[in-house]
Amino acid sequence: MDPIRVVITGAAGQIAYSLLHSVAKGDVFGKDQPVELMLLDIEPMMTVLGGVVMEVMDCSLPLVRNVVPTADPMVAFKDADVAMLVGAMPRREGMERKDLLKANVKIFKAQGQAMDDVAKKTIKVVVVGNPANTNAFICAKYAPSIPKENFSALTRLDQNRAQAQVANKLGIPCNDVNNCIIWGNHSSTQFPDVSYATVKVAGKELEANSAIKDDHWVRNDFISTVQKRGACVIAARKLSSAMSAANAIVDHVRDWWQGSGDRMVSMAVWSNDNKYGIASELMYSFPVKTAAKGKIEIVNGLKIEEWQRERMDLTCKELVEERDAALAECEE
């Protein structure tokens, strides 16, 4: 099989350090798919990145056909099939993710422009660097020759956090929880929702709500725990999540490349195809299904109650504000 060209930005940073091994050994694209790794970081990090390249080589992994460290986006994105856009400044304690907008959004403008010039038009892009949804919007906007459907932002970490909270509440393994949804922004306004989730308890498939039997928890503590999880990790580690973020990137891109099957998963995607009344031209997280190497389809038609509507609209409002601020920043 021919190798695919996979770009990882922020390649000298902490998330990439956890991510590279999984990508290189076939956890994302399959155990028979060779990869060329295009590792982008900024010029001052080239020595560190050189060390990362040595380590990738020293893993002696058969699927790795080439590793290219570079500080030049035009080199990194040339003919790229997939891009995992991690490189950006992380927030520190006390900041909201949108406080990073000014520092980070122009990175994604420049990378969108580079992709527009040199990447394959079929490239699949996941944006991780925060504020992830809005950075993905900017990246897509500045790559007009690439379909908007090829861009996404990571909310899988939030989905995994939600699944883990439900599993913990019921005392069951995480893989017995399915279809938890993250609506909206990867921020403290996000809406983690178990209304359509199913769980397996004592061998029986049940609706999550009937198994949990605690509406107050589902509408309050559960939501705020997931919303604030990133901040709690920062408070404890003095660094933002990295292992769990890398794990979520693997889940997101694997499901996009290999298909999600019958499961709904959450991805922030171009909002224009939604039937939930969410404004167009946003990167909003929805329940989606994916066919292998195919288009991401929003799962439309789920019944929405009033209390859900309010939360979905609140996070939408924040995304509209972020988008407008980002556009103003990019036009300066």
Ligand X SMILES: O=C(O)CCC(=O)C(=O)O
Ligand Y SMILES: NC(=O)C1=CN([C@@H]2O[C@H](COP(=O)(O)OP(=O)(O)OC[C@H]3O[C@@H](n4cnc5c(N)ncnc54)[C@H](O)[C@@H]3O)[C@@H](O)[C@H]2O)C=CC1
Residues near ligand Y, by CB under 6 A: 9-10, 12-15, 40-42, 45, 86-91, 107, 128-130, 132, 154, 157, 186, 240-242, 245
Residue 233 contact, options ligand Y, ligand X, none, Cβ 5-8 Å cut-off depending on partner type: ligand X
65 assigned ligand-binding residue: no
Q: Which residue, 7 or 234, has its beta carbon nearer to ligand X?
A: 234
* C-beta closer to ligand Y: residue 128 or 170: 128
129 is in an annotated binding site: yes
Q: Other C-beta atoms within 10 Å of 185: how many?
A: 30
Confirm whether residue 58 is marked as ligand binding.
Answer: no
Q: How far is the CB of 307 from ligand Y (least distance, A)?
A: 25
**Residues from 210 through 239 that contact ligand X (CB under 6 A):** 230-231, 233-234
Give 3-state DSSP helix, strand, coil % of the chain, rounded to 5: 45, 20, 35
Q: Which of 21, 186, 216, 252 is catalytic?
A: 186
Tokens read off for 183: 């609506």
Task: Please report whether residue 130 would count as binding ligand X according to CB under 6 A.
Answer: yes
Q: Which amino acid is at 130?
A: N
Q: Is 161 annotated as a binding residue?
A: yes
What is the Cα–Cα distance from 279 to 317, expressed in whole angstroms? 9
CB of 23 to ligand Y, least distance (A): 14
- Torsions phi, psi for 128 (to 5 deg): -115, -40
At its nearest, how many Å lie between ligand X and the CB of residue 51?
Answer: 24
5 is known to lie in a ligand binding site? no
What span, in angstroms and rounded, lies between the C-alpha atoms of 208 and 278? 25
Which residue of the chain is nearest ligand X when measured via CB?
Answer: 230
| Cα 197 to Cα 177: distance, rounded to the nearest angstrom | 7
Residue identified by tokens 């403290």 is 188
Task: Tell me whether residue 135 is annotated as binding.
Answer: no
CB of 12 to ligand X, least distance (A): 17
Among 23, 157, 177, 199, binds ligand X (CB under 6 A): 157
Contact 13, 130 (CB under 8 A): no
Q: Count CB neighbours of 50 within 10 A.
A: 11
Look up 252 and say whether it is catalytic: no
Toward ligand X, which CB reaches closer, 130 or 308? Answer: 130
Strands 124-127 and 265-270: unpaired
Please list, in sequence order, all residues whose beta carbon lies within 8 angstroms of the beta carbon of residue 290, skipping any fewer than 6 positions away: 255, 256, 259, 260, 265, 296, 297
Of the two residues 231 and 330, which places its CB atom closer to ligand X in the complex?
A: 231
Instruction: Determine whether the annotation assigns residue 128 to a binding site.
Output: yes
- Strand-pairing partners, residue 268, are 153, 285
Which one of ligand X, ligand Y, none interacts with residue 15, CB within 5 to 8 A by kind? Answer: ligand Y
- x/- mask, ligand X, residues 235-264, rule CB under 6 A, reads -----xx-----------------------
What does 131 bind: ligand Y, ligand X, none (CB cut-off 5 to 8 Å by kind)?
none
Distance CA 72, CA 256 (A): 27
- Cα separation, 203 vs 97, in Å, equals 40
CB closer to ligand Y, 81 vs 251: 251
The nearest distance, CB 85 to ligand Y, in angstroms, is: 8
241 vs 315, beta carbon nearer ligand X: 241
Nearest to 265 by CA among 273, 121, 257: 257
290 binds ligand X (CB under 6 A): no
CA-CA distance, 272 to 224, in Å (whole number)? 28
**313 with 304: CB under 8 angstroms?**
no
| Residue from 10, 73, 90, 287 in contact with ligand X (CB under 6 A) | 90
Which residues are known binding-site members for NAD(+)?
41, 104, 128-130
Q: Supply the residues annotated as catalytic.
A: 186
